[in-house]
């Protein structure tokens, strides 16, 4: 069995991985499948002997045709009492059969729910391990569809699908054995349509598999569309695009219906064909068994039992298409889930990891760093060589797309830099345990992400054990405490999905509080005050002066006012460092930084006018 979900590569491995976890309960469930069907085939046998004894009492059957034990036992009762007792025995057999069926369903269907729980957890856990680049290539709605709709199809396959498959096999074998015992000749005739059924089923299930994959892909598109619309509802309303989105959604839904109807037609043809062949088989067997009775080779009781067994065999034949359809849908959905589970995370601890590294001080070095995103050919960063001593405040400025955010994202290994090109405290990033590395870095990203929880929970995210004094310091430094009277429930106010109820500046300040509360050795502020007014920005920078002491700080900003006090400023253009120095030095050089400074002064003057 694979030791981890990431090692599961094939459908067979997937099935075995989850079956073997519960092998004892599966065996118990299969035992009850056998017991259920043993008792089910017992009822027609009781009915057979009751009818045969009745036929004997009415003079239509000689005693030679009846078992001696039946004659001895039945002679103890009157005919009326015998029939009542036979009916009672049938009820008892049916009751025991019902009990076993309940236990069978309870164990196997319940087990499928536990497997669903396991798979959903494993799927979610695996998503947590995948690198950021994976999420740039996959839609959120599609990943959600696999965790819901596809997983339900897999559960149906591994619960009802397995149970009915085992039930179909065992009941068919038991029924056929009894039918052969009663009349081998009629049984052979009843099996003649089976090869035709097998050919039809084999052709149709291939179609079902392909059609179901198309349906699931379309369902993913619908889920992604809804998710994107709800996430961007404010933009959508601002641009009055509701009618356009409604039309697009109707088209997606219409295509979803079209694909489903195509599958419905294939299913309907499969079921109707099986029903027709089954009906033809019943008519044939009724005729042949009647002739067997007239020729004395079969009793009326045997004919009644034979037809009862044929009726029992009808459900496995009918359910065959349904079960195979369930398996095809489950296999298609399983493949979609596996396609995500096969994704590997290259950004993780490995044999290169030095587990003796348990803490960091914060000295950062870039040594001829050249980096390009996976799947691309053009480098984003070119030959970056830079040393940031512990406690230094580095500012990075440059035009949009210059590579500022990419450079910062390499430090917590959101993306992996080439070996040896990026170090902290002299250690290559790949040698530092990932949890240690990220625990010592506080990262406030450009796009502030808040969770649908309280303000307090968002601030303490990643630092749950922080004392109250540290919490108060963090909200004071970020100036978010000044807005406390605007929050109806104080720090317990729910902020809504992605911080919907907060302004852009409030969200950024909450994010700054969250980063400071972790007490990181390296603090990265990526355009973290772009939505904050100038007065509040100045107050935050004043408070950050104490925070920055002894702590390596990296500021990324478009505003010169934000970075002019930094110990070192670098200017990036097209992924290269074109200038570096302090604020006064860069102005005196009258290069790219000077031009940016003049442009911002002009923009500020125009705003004042």
Nearest Cα residue to 111 out of 170, 160, 164: 160
Q: Residue 1's pLDDT is what? A: 39
Largest CA distance in the chain: 125
Task: Tell me how crowded residue 204 is: count the other CB atoms within 10 A of its CB.
Answer: 21
Task: Report how far apart, in Å, the C-alpha atoms of 7 and of each of 45, 115, 333, 406 are.
Answer: 51, 18, 18, 31
Measured CA to CA, the distance from residue 432 to residue 423 in angstroms comes to 9
The pTM of this model reads: 0.74
Q: Residue 8's pLDDT is what? A: 52
Q: Residue 62's pLDDT is what? A: 62
Across the strands, what pairs with 576?
573
- Using an 8 Å Cβ cutoff, are 66 and 301 in contact? no
Encoding tokens for residue 525? Answer: 């502020």
Q: Residue 390's pLDDT is what? A: 93
Q: What is the dihedral of CA 447, 453, 459, 463, to 10 degrees?
A: -110
Token pair 């059924």: residue: 197
Helices (H) and strands (E) counted in the chain, each on its own, are 22, 10
Measured CA to CA, the distance from residue 396 to residue 575 in angstroms comes to 12
Measured CA to CA, the distance from residue 534 to residue 531 in angstroms comes to 9
Token pair 């149906």: residue: 156
State the Cα angle at 436 between 433 and 440, rounded to 5°.
140
Low-confidence ranges of the chain (pLDDT < 50): 1-3, 6
Measured CA to CA, the distance from residue 553 to residue 233 in angstroms comes to 35
Task: Report how far apart, in Å, the C-alpha atoms of 65 and of each of 50, 54, 180, 381, 385 are.
Answer: 13, 13, 17, 94, 101
The phi-psi region of residue 263 (left if phi > 0; otherwise alpha if psi is between -120 and 50; otherwise beta) is: alpha
Task: Report how far apart, in Å, the C-alpha atoms of 99 and of each of 34, 313, 436, 446 are.
Answer: 13, 21, 56, 61
- Topology, domain 450-519: Rossmann fold (3.40.50)
Q: Where, residue-wise, is CATH 1.20.1560.10 in the chain? A: 5-341
Kindly report the CATH number that applies to the domain delimited by 359-440+522-589. Answer: 3.40.50.300
- Calculate Rg over the CA atoms of the chain: 37
Across the strands, what pairs with 364?
388, 424
Q: Residue 503's pLDDT is what? A: 83
Q: Residue 6's pLDDT is what? A: 47
The superfamily in CATH containing domain 5-341 is ABC transporter type 1, transmembrane domain (1.20.1560.10)
Measured CA to CA, the distance from residue 8 to residue 344 in angstroms comes to 11
Q: Which string of b and e fits 550-572 if b means at least 16 CB within 10 Å?
A: ebbbbbbbebbebbebbebbbbb
Across the strands, what pairs with 427?
424
Q: Which string of b and e fits 453-469 if b means at least 16 CB within 10 Å?
A: ebbebbbbbebeebeee
Q: Where, residue-wise, is CATH 3.40.50.300 in the chain? A: 359-440+522-589, 450-519
Q: Residue 2's pLDDT is what? A: 47
Task: Report how far apart, in Å, the C-alpha atoms of 130 and of each of 127, 134, 345, 413, 461 are.
Answer: 5, 7, 5, 12, 20
Across the strands, what pairs with 454?
494
Determine whether 24 is exposed, middle or buried from the number of CB atoms within 10 Å of its CB (0-12, 13-18, 19+).
exposed
Token pair 């695009």: residue: 241
Q: Residue 606's pLDDT is what? A: 67
Nearest Cα residue to 449 out of 241, 195, 596, 231: 231
Measured CA to CA, the distance from residue 600 to residue 122 in angstroms comes to 51
Edge-to-edge, what's the strand order for the sheet holding 568-573? 441-444, 522-526, 552-556, 393-398, 568-573, 576-581
Across the strands, what pairs with 425?
none
């Amino acid at each position: 069995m694979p030791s981890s979900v990431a090692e599961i590569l094939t459908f067979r491995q997937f099935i075995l991985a989850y079956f073997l976890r519960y092998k004892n309960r599966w065996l118990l469930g299969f035992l009850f499948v056998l017991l259920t069907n043993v008792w089910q085939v017992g009822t027609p046998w009781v009915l057979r002997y009751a009818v045969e004894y009745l036929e004997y009492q009415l003079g239509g059957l000689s005693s030679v045709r009846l078992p001696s034990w039946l004659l001895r036992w039945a002679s103890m009762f009157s005919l009326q009492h015998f029939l009542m007792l036979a009916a009672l025995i049938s009820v008892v057999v049916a009751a025991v059969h019902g009990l076993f069926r309940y236990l069978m369903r309870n164990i196997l269907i319940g087990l499928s729910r536990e497997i669903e729980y396991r798979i959903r957890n494993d799927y979610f856990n695996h998503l947590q391990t995948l690198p950021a680049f994976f999420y740039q290539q996959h839609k959120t709605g599609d990943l959600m569809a696999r965790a819901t709709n596809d997983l339900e199809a897999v559960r149906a396959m591994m619960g009802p699908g397995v149970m009915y498959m085992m039930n179909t096999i065992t009941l068919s074998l038991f029924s056929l054995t009894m039918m052969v015992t009663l009349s081998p000749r009629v049984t052979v005739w009843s099996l003649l349509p089976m090869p035709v059924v097998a050919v039809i089923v084999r052709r149709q299930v291939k179609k079902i598999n392909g059609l179901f994959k198309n349906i699931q892909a379309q369902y993913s598109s619908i889920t992604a569309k809804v998710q994107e619309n709800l996430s961007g509802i404010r933009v959508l309303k601002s641009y009055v695009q509701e009618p356009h989105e409604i039309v697009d959604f109707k088209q997606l839904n219409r295509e979803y219906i079209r694909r489903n109807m195509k599958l419905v037609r294939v299913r309907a043809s499969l079921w109707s064909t099986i029903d027709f062949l089954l009906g033809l088989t019943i008519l044939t067997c009724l005729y042949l068994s009647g002739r067997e009775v007239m020729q004395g080779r079969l009793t009326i009781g045997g004919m009644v039992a034979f037809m009862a067994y044929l009726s029992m065999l009808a459900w496995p034949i009918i359910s065959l298409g349904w079960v195979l359809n369930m398996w095809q849908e489950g296999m298609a959905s399983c493949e979609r889930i596996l396609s995500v589970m096969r994704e590997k995370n290259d950004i993780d601890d490995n044999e290169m990891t030095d587990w003796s590294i348990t803490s960091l001080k914060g000295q950062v070095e870039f040594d001829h760093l050249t980096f390009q995103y996976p799947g691309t050919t053009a480098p984003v960063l070119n030959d970056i060589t830079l040393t940031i001593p512990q406690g230094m405040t580095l500012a990075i400025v440059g035009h949009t797309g210059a590579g500022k955010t990419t450079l910062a994202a390499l430090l917590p290994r959101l993306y992996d830099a080439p070996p040896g090109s990026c170090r902290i405290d002299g250690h290559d990033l790949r040698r530092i345990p990932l949890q240690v590395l990220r625990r010592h870095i506080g990262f406030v990203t450009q796009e502030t992400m808040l969770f649908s929880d309280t303000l307090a929970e968002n601030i303490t995210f990643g630092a749950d054990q922080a004392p109250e004094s540290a919490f108060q310091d963090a909200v004071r430094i970020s100036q978010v405490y000044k807005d406390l009277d605007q929050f109806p429930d104080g720090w317990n106010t729910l902020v809504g999905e992605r911080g919907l109820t907060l302004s852009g500046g409030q969200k950024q300040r909450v994010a700054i509080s969250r980063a400071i509360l972790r007490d990181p050795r390296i603090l990265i502020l990526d355009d973290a005050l772009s939505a904050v007014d100038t007065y509040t920005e100045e107050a935050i920078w004043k408070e950050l002066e104490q925070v920055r002491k002894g702590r390596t700080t990296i500021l990324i900003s478009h505003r010169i006012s934000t970075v002019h006090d930094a110990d070192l400023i670098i200017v990036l253009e097209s992924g290269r460092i074109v200038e570096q120095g302090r604020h006064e030095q860069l102005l005196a050089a009258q290069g790219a930084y000077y031009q940016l400074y003049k442009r911002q002064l002009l923009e500020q003057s125009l705003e004042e006018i």
